[in-house]
Chains A and B, each alone.
Chain A
């Protein structure tokens, strides 16, 4: 195992975060705070409790998930796309590093950033609405698993993309709608039966539901099912990454 290489990539990616602190951390925290001000304090105070939880607290896990998903994808996709764009990928490809080590470096850094951001958002949310965490270990588990899974997904997007437009295509047109329709702001129990069934095909529902369960002990879907679906998505992403490095898809000519 080339641990020096993993650390080099990891540190390089993390240093980009500190260099672009405003964009990496401050900007998502501000936008999430705005969600809490509008949906939590302004509108939330006029809404009924959901599953026995105040609306302001109910949306906390969903909003953390929203940031976690978008930032994991953005961090990992940009991390691998940028060296391709500027040509420095030659160094990664000619170095004595395995696919696993490259993934550990890039995805590890992207997931770390998202987890840090997720925790910062949780602390920020606590300033706006009171809530507790019923199952802290599960909460951390879901946080880490989701960050890693979606960082892997972002890594795949970064390798697939051959333009900045494509880099933003999947997050904008697929991930954001799925997140908004994945129960971030509502319980899927509020939906009519038909749409509730349709929603079950949305993988984000399982992430939000499992994460919410770790906070309040109640959820639309059992935590076991949520965990299983997240692990399944992680496995699919790992398989795709394995295939990419085996074939050199979009990396080697």
Chain B
């Protein structure tokens, strides 16, 4: 693969459930070591199925997955030791204490007890004061932190976060973003699925979009936004126009807001974007301009175009 070693290699993975539902169709994906990769897609697109196959919870119908070079089926012990998973659902041992459940996870992944590491993880996640509390007594946000602590207990090199900030408050969301950045800095590869596109925009190095079981785009976030993003100039007029004058046809303008707005879409990276000539032409036509505003399409706009633009 180009641009670095693959922490995860997904090769031709297909999943067909017994009821005939095709959840994944020949998915190929390399996730680079040390990156934050955001996997985006609408509900039912196959994100969780893909993560579950990598982590060993769901069996693939065909294809294979390598984690740090280890086949996740043939060499599952070595592969799984590298991986930590924070699933979407808040599934916890309600009657256990925070300390006990996180220590249990470390043992389960074959690691010797290490109270110092558990303490470090709990402090990082602001759970240290709650270490003797039973999980049932914690808030939803705290339970989410416990699940992350469990996933980090065995010091994984690859961390899967399936909708980690779903239903958490703004403060916790920011905390989690900070934690992800710190983990990335320590060399952990992070694969993130999220419904919050701004989260991917904030955090991800690369973005993959999955829809109806097919991976339709994998791109550097910046390159994706440059390649598929649009820049628009919104011209608010003093008086409404009945339609776009013929002399403005080279700019392919759209008339909006009852004729009081002209929308000009252009290539933001081009040498000449045509804005100056457009404004001159408007002046020549005697069209009075009230306001000018430019906007760059967000990752969300690109995502919506990609998913809803598909046949």
Contacts and interface: CB of A to CB of B under 8 A. Distances in A.
Interface string B68-106: 000000001111110101010101111110001001111
Interface stretch (B56-64, B222-230, B236-244, B280-288): B56-64
Interface residues on B, range: 35 or more
A86 B110 contact: no
A27 interface: no
- Tell me what chain A mostly uses at the interface: helix, strand, loop, or mixed: helix
A7 interface: yes
Contacts of B109: 4-5, 95-96
Contact of B59 (A19, A87, A248): A248
A4 B154 CA distance: 12
Nearest to A95: B108
Nearest to A19: B95
Contacts of A16: 95
B59 A4 contact: no
Contact of B81 (A93, A96, A248): A96
A94 B83 contact: yes
B95 A95 contact: no
Given A95-B80, A96-B76, A90 B104 contact: no
Nearest to A105: B108
Contact of A93 (B57, B83, B104, B107): B57
Given A5-B110, A8-B104, A90 B77 contact: no
Point out which of B77, B95, B107, B150 has the most chain A C-beta atoms below 10 A from its C-beta.
Answer: B107
Contacts, number: 83
A252 B58 contact: yes
A97 B154 CA distance: 14
B112 interface: yes
B58 A90 contact: no
Interface residues of A, number: 26
Contacts of A248: 59
B104 A12 contact: yes
Given A5-B110, A12-B104, A94 B91 contact: no
B17 interface: yes
A225 B122 CA distance: 56
A5 B109 CA distance: 6
A5 B108 CA distance: 4
A86 B108 contact: no
A46 interface: no
Given A87-B89, A91-B85, A95-B108, 12 more contacts: A4-B106, A8-B106, A8-B108, A11-B104, A12-B96, A86-B92, A91-B150, A92-B108, A94-B57, A96-B79, A252-B59, A253-B52
Lowest 6 CB-CB distances: which A-B pairs, in order? A8-B107, A87-B91, A96-B80, A96-B77, A94-B55, A2-B110
18 contacts: A4-B112, A12-B100, A12-B104, A15-B96, A87-B89, A87-B91, A88-B92, A90-B57, A91-B108, A91-B150, A92-B108, A95-B108, A96-B78, A96-B81, A96-B109, A97-B110, A253-B52, A253-B58
